[in-house]
Structure 1
Amino acid sequence: MNVAQTQLQNSGWQQALVSSIEVGIVVVDKSFVVEEWNQFMQNHTGHDVANVRGYSLFNFFEDLDKDWLINKCQPVFEMNTPVFMIWEQRHYLFKVGTARPVTSPAEYMYQNISIFPIADDSGNVERICFLVYDVTDHAMSKQRIEGLNNRLKEISRVDGLTQLFNRRHWQECFEREYKLAIRHKKPVSVLMLDIDHFKKVNDTYGHQAGDAVIQSISKIIKKATRETDIAGRYGGEEFVILLPDTPAESAFTVGERIRKASEKTVVTHEDSEISVTVSAGIAEFSPVYKQPLVWLEAADQALYEAKNAGRNRVIVTASAAE
């Protein structure tokens, strides 16, 4: 067998290998003109090698960021150094459909990309090779796990009935805000709120009706507070709201907004219409509160005073108002 026949035979099995491998192989020159395009790329892009070879890569992928890719490939050409990209950095290089469009939840193929220099006999890099790995299943699995972890984290922080923060998480936020208040010396207020005569609601209409009332008040609280405010269910029919950058006077306005909206709200449960009111106590942060719990107890004391004064009212603790 002569040299030409041997080269031809070697070329044949090499071509067969390149065509059958389950990895995308794309070879381009310095102008990003395609020189090699294997079967994997043909199958997933719909572009035949005969139609792609000899043309710029950018002709076939309009959403491919030309400037970004040229910059990314620069060290491969100039420094003879490979470059790698994982799907977490960029979901894909070539936007193509998934290998299993019917069963896969992904809209497109997630890809890991390796870019290798191809040097000639003189060591000059005149072309580079893209290796395209389909990592869609791995990406979907990781995203599902992350989604479940985020959901579990959210569940651990949120009260199931009201969708406000639960007591444990709210307490953590409160203690952190207490430390910030000492350091930054900005006005911060805490509002404690309670549904008036709630036991009577449960005794008269049942616990499901009581839950409906709690949910109704929680919606009013969400509507009356800002994104930066931290509202939680403290226990039973009691709620707490942390109001950063808010002096007692402004917190009183928030409390009145909630009180008036609650007073006007009628909760319909089965054939019953239930009206309730709320009472609230407010304490603005003061350095005299040496512990977070002391600050919270000041708001609780103001709430107690609101109850004793006839309910359906908002009272600011005297020490916070001074």
Structure 2
Amino acid sequence: MNVPVDSLSDLVVERVGFGIFVLDRDMNVLMWNRFMQDHSGLTPEQVVGKSLYAHFPELPRVWLSRKIESVFQLGSFAFSSWEQRPYLFKFDHDRPITGGVDFMQQDCTFMPLMREREVVAVCVTISDVTHVSIVQREREEAVAKLQEYADRDGLTGIANRRFFETRLRDEYTRWQRYGGDMSVLLFDLDHFKKINDQFGHGVGDTVLRVMAQRVAEVVRAQDTFGRFGGEEFALLLPCTPLDDAMRVAEKIRCTIADTPVEVQGTSVPVTASVGGASARAGVPSYDVLINEADAALYSAKRQGRNRSVAFV
């Protein structure tokens, strides 16, 4: 049986699994396929011959009109992915609500329809890429979580040494380029070995977790607080001169010393020694800055512990 080519073309356009509609230069609809009808609830009879904006006033009018006009002027294809603009039409999708998207995610193609080398209309296709977008978002979220785990200390949940040193290097580079202030504090818990020996390593781990949580609650959002190793911790203070850093050091010391840690019905008193250093001319690297803070920390210990000392 011979079927007219035009009939086959019409059938394909009606049955394809993506949206197809055609616009003239004034944004009037010339054709509207079944996909567009099913997802918009509007038949071709309702839409054809009218401005697209009459039925879809929520469309990004300026952006879309410029896109269509560029195709008329240049005579070349244009595209828009869901990553650039998640959707053009607010169509419902059939994915689970746990996917985290409100509307069908869409890739759009804008194709010039030529007649005698002149663009007479623009064909727009709408592809449903909701599943792809959800999978990609889930993948990105998983990667972000893995990265966060890689940057965190397993016991305390704060930054680990590797991440802290990366932030320190970046901040030191910024300071070298633009100047200003930056300081570093190092502190560790006094006589922590005695806590482990007297109460056990399980209690010692709890003390570390509680202390890290208490300190994390008093530092600024722009600061980087990390576990440097064992019972030693570090705090990076961007845009902070040494005097201000030492006030932070005292705040941390008091936060730790003022409230014993309650573990399994036992009250464990904890104190800390803190050393601080600040970037300045003559400090050739961030490693030297850390060494200076470390020297100040050991000076605090030699002076009797439970105190803060600045490197001068």
State TM-score, norm by structure 2. Answer: 0.90
2:251 to 249, 257, 263: 257
Q: Residues 32 and 245 of structure 1: is their aligned pair in 2 closer, same or farther, counting only changes over 3 Å? A: same
Q: Residues 215 and 59 of structure 1: is their aligned pair in 2 closer, same or farther, counting only changes over 3 Å? A: farther
| Aligned match of 1:44 | 39
Q: Residues 178 and 78 of structure 1: is their aligned pair in 2 closer, same or farther, counting only changes over 3 Å? A: closer
Q: Residues 237 and 95 of structure 1: is their aligned pair in 2 closer, same or farther, counting only changes over 3 Å? A: same
SS in 1 for 2:109: strand
Superposed CA RMSD in Å reads 2.4
Deviation digits for residues 194-217 of structure 1 (CA, Å, limit 9, x no counterpart): 112222332333333322322222
SS in 1 for 2:309: strand
Equivalent residues in 2 for 1:287-302 (5 A)? 287-302=281-296
Residues 1:274 and 2:268 are matched in the alignment = yes
**Percent identity between the two aligned chains:** 36
Residues 1:232 and 2:226 are matched in the alignment = yes
Q: Residues 173 and 102 of structure 1: is their aligned pair in 2 closer, same or farther, counting only changes over 3 Å? A: closer
Query: Aligned equivalents of 1:64 and 1:235: distance in 2?
Result: 55
1:33 to 24, 28, 37: 28
| Aligned match of 1:68 | 63
The answer as to whether partners of 1:61 and 1:95 remain within 8 angstroms in 2 is no
Letter in 2 for 1:150: A
Q: Relative to structure 2, which stretch is displaced further, 261-270 or 232-241?
A: 261-270
Q: Residues 20 and 257 of structure 1: is their aligned pair in 2 closer, same or farther, counting only changes over 3 Å? A: same
Query: Aligned equivalents of 1:100 and 1:182: distance in 2?
Result: 51
1:173 to 154, 167, 170: 167
The answer as to whether partners of 1:26 and 1:131 remain within 8 angstroms in 2 is yes
> Shift of the alpha carbon at 1:103?
8.1
Deviation digits for residues 253-286 of structure 1 (CA, Å, limit 9, x no counterpart): 1111111122223433232233312210111224
Q: Relative to structure 2, which stretch is displaced further, 101-110 or 249-258?
A: 101-110
| Aligned match of 2:73 | 78
Equivalent residues in 2 for 1:67-106 (5 A)? 67-101=62-96, 106=101
Residues 1:138 and 2:123 are matched in the alignment = no
Query: Aligned equivalents of 1:141 and 1:190: distance in 2?
Result: 41
The answer as to whether partners of 1:233 and 1:239 remain within 8 angstroms in 2 is yes
2:50 to 29, 52, 55: 55
| Aligned match of 1:215 | 209
Matched pairs, number: 311
The answer as to whether partners of 2:215 and 2:256 remain within 8 angstroms in 1 is no
Q: Relative to structure 2, which stretch is displaced further, 287-296 or 107-116?
A: 287-296
1:12 to 7, 14, 28: 7
Query: Aligned equivalents of 2:121 and 2:177: distance in 1?
Result: 59
Query: Aligned equivalents of 1:292 and 1:202: distance in 2?
Result: 32
| Aligned match of 1:199 | 193
| Aligned match of 2:121 | 127
The answer as to whether partners of 2:93 and 2:104 remain within 8 angstroms in 1 is yes
SS in 2 for 1:192: strand
Residues 1:313 and 2:310 are matched in the alignment = no
SS in 2 for 1:109: coil
| Aligned match of 1:3 | none
Q: Residues 179 and 106 of structure 1: is their aligned pair in 2 closer, same or farther, counting only changes over 3 Å? A: closer
Q: Residues 275 and 42 of structure 1: is their aligned pair in 2 closer, same or farther, counting only changes over 3 Å? A: farther
State TM-score, norm by structure 1. Answer: 0.87
Q: Residues 204 and 97 of structure 1: is their aligned pair in 2 closer, same or farther, counting only changes over 3 Å? A: farther
> Shift of the alpha carbon at 1:18?
0.8
The answer as to whether partners of 2:215 and 2:255 remain within 8 angstroms in 1 is no
Query: Aligned equivalents of 2:168 and 2:219: distance in 1?
Result: 16
> Shift of the alpha carbon at 1:101?
4.6
The answer as to whether partners of 1:193 and 1:239 remain within 8 angstroms in 2 is yes
Residues 1:110 and 2:105 are matched in the alignment = yes
